[in-house]
């Protein structure tokens, strides 16, 4: 993830790609093993060991073929 310029005085992050474990890739709609999403919330939990968390909204990826009129 990378921070972009401030947008209405809020930090804005670029869209992200998530690489999944190959065993889980059949459980989700993906684009060659990648799912795309947008970071909604980033948090850092201060405990004995630092914990970074991200809340991500995933996008549904559709593949369109010329011979089909509906997404697959």
| pLDDT digit string, tens, across residues 8-34 | 666 555 556 666 667 766 666 666 666
Per the confidence metrics, is the pTM higher than 0.75? no
- The mean pLDDT of the chain is 63
Report the distance separating Cα 39 and Cα 54, nearest Å.
7
Adjacent-strand bridge partners of 54: 42
Report the distance separating Cα 66 and Cα 72, nearest Å.
12
Report the distance separating Cα 1 and Cα 48, nearest Å.
25
Report the distance separating Cα 14 and Cα 34, nearest Å.
16
């Amino acid at each position: 993830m990378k921070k972009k310029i401030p947008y209405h005085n809020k930090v804005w992050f670029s869209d992200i790609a998530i690489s999944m474990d190959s065993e889980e890739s059949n459980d989700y709609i993906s684009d060659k093993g990648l799912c795309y999403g947008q970071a909604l919330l980033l948090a850092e939990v201060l405990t004995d060991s630092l914990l970074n968390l991200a809340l991500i909204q995933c996008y549904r990826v559709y593949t369109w073929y010329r011979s089909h009129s509906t997404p697959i």
